[in-house]
């Protein structure tokens, strides 16, 4: 797996090549140790002290998706608080995304949290989700275009060290190319495997990393969460980028939203553009 080196710089040509060849790269140290401390605490503070899990939370195989309010909505985790919002406005991650997407004019979205606690059930290396893709291509589109305007790049910050077996996201090296090829070989290829939400088993690798790293995935990359076999909970925060001139008119989740004063106060000028508060 290629890792990205060079503090404060975007990717080298070979790193960009690795992303398009393998479908993913790990960008190390996007966050400082101090930032990791602040954001990991903010995530832990979302977990109820009495460990009662709200009904609207996603809770599967030791993996929890906490929401402060509502269920399933983008940015729900920070609707009434600004704690995690700066993670959507990170300058370095934006530079990486802009280089991969080939445009400086981007939208950012997602902003959800994943907490994976130790879970010893199932066979070794068990995935805790179906292999799937999370693409910004509407379901009424019958074929992927495979163009930069259709691309979405995104993935997760690790807010804890993720060692082997520690609940790292699993990916299929080169799998994004296999998805595109198989889809293109059949009419209505975008709809295969339940719109690519239930892929057949494929050989995967676990993306391990350190707290503060970001795993960037191509949007056609088959991936899945995995069981965490280790004592330390895996804390992750998900971020995705698309171009403003997105081939399908954007992702419904990337549209401009209303933000409260506390949220607006923590948005950098870059963040205001990425989040659609101000035009590019
Ligand atoms: O938590 C993970 O490692 C991956 C989660 C994921 O892919 C999803 O929820 O769509
Ligand atoms: Fe996913």
**Residue 180 belongs to a domain:** yes
Residues counted in the chain: 280
- For the chain, the farthest-separated pair of C-alpha atoms sits apart, in whole angstroms, at 52
Looking at residue 77, its pLDDT comes to 46
Instruction: Say what percent of the chain tops pLDDT 90.
Output: 79
Say if strands 24-27 and 106-116 run parallel, antiparallel, or are unpaired: unpaired
Could you tell me if the CB of 212 is within 6 A of ligand 1? no
Give residue-wise pLDDT tens across range 130-159: 999 999 999 999 999 999 999 999 999 999
The number of helices, as runs of H, and strands, as runs of E, in the chain is 7, 10
Residue 3 lies in a domain: no
In which domain, by residue range, is 184 found? 13-47+58-274
The confidence band for 80, taking pLDDT boundaries of 50, 70 and 90, is: low
| Pocket flag, ligand 1, residue 225 (CB < 6 Å) | yes
> Which residue's C-alpha comes closest to atom 9 of ligand 1?
225
- The residue ranges of DSSP E strands in 174-264, in sequence order, are 205-206, 214-218, 223-224, 234-243
Q: What is the pLDDT of residues 230-246, one digit of tens each?
A: 999 999 999 999 999 99
The CATH number that applies at residue 62 is: 2.60.120.620
The sign one gets for the Cα dihedral 163, 164, 169, 172 is: positive
CA–centroid distance, 202 to ligand 2, in Å, is: 15
Average pLDDT in the chain: 91
What backbone torsions phi and psi does residue 273 show, to the nearest 5 degrees? -75, -45
CB 160 within 8 A of CB 232: yes
Query: What is the number of structural domains in the chain?
Result: 1
Mutate to test the pocket of ligand 1, among 225, 236, 253 (most ligand atoms within 8 A of CB): 225
> Which pTM was predicted?
0.94
In a domain, 2, yes or no: no
Q: How far is the CA of 280 from the centre of ligand 1 (A)?
A: 30
Residue 38 is assigned to a structural domain of this protein: yes
Q: In the beta sheet, which residues pair with residue 217?
A: 24, 154
**Residue to mutate, 77, 113, 129, ligand 1, most ligand atoms under 8 Å from C-beta:** 129
Which residues, listed in sequence order, are joined to residue 226 by a DSSP beta bridge?
Answer: 127
Residue 135 lies in a domain: yes
Give dist(CA 235, CA 116) in Å, integer: 7
Distances from the Cα of 30 to the Cα of 4, 24, 26, 85, angstroms = 10, 16, 10, 15
Q: According to the model, what pLDDT value does residue 231 have?
A: 98
Measured in Å, residue 145 CA sits from the centre of ligand 1 at 24
What radius of gyration do the chain's Cα atoms show? Answer: 18
Provide, rounded to the nearest whole percent, the portion of the chain with pLDDT above 70: 91
Indicate whether 191 belongs to any domain. Answer: yes
**Is 60 exceeded by the pLDDT of residue 76?**
no
Do residues 171 and 251 lie in contact, with contact meaning Cβ atoms separated by under 8 Å?
A: no
Residue 280 domain flag: no
Residue 6 lies in a domain: no
Ligand 1 center to residue 225 CA distance, Å?
Answer: 5
70 CB neighbour count, 10 Å cutoff: 10
């Amino acid at each position: 797996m290629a890792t990205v080196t060079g503090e404060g710089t975007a990717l080298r040509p070979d790193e960009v090549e690795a992303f398009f060849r393998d479908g993913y790269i790990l960008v190390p140290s996007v966050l400082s140790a101090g930032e990791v401390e602040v954001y990991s605490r903010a995530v832990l503070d979302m977990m109820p002290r009495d460990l009662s899990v709200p009904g609207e939370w996603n809770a599967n195989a030791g993996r929890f998706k906490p929401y402060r309010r509502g269920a399933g909505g983008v940015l729900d985790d920070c609707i009434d608080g600004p704690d995690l919002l700066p993670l959507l406005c990170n300058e370095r991650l934006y530079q990486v995304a802009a280089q991969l997407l080939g445009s400086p004019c981007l939208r950012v979205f997602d902003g959800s949290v994943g907490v994976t606690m130790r879970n010893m059930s199932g066979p070794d290396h068990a995935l805790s989700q179906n292999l799937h893709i999370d693409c910004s291509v509407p379901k009424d589109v019958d074929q992927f275009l495979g163009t930069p305007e259709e691309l979405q790049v995104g993935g997760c910050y690790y807010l804890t060290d993720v060692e082997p077996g520690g609940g790292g996201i699993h990916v299929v090296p080169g799998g994004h190319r296999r998805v595109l090829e198989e889809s293109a070989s059949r009419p209505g290829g975008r709809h295969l495997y339940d719109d690519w939400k239930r892929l057949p088993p494929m050989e995967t690798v676990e993306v391990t990393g350190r707290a503060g790293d970001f795993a960037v995935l191509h949007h056609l990359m088959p991936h899945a969460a995995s069981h965490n076999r280790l004592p330390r909970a895996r804390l992750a925060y998900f971020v995705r980028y698309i171009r403003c001139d997105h081939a399908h008119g954007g992702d419904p989740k990337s549209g401009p939203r209303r933000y409260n004063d506390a949220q607006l106060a923590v948005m950098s000028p870059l963040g205001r553009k990425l989040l659609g508060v101000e035009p590019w």
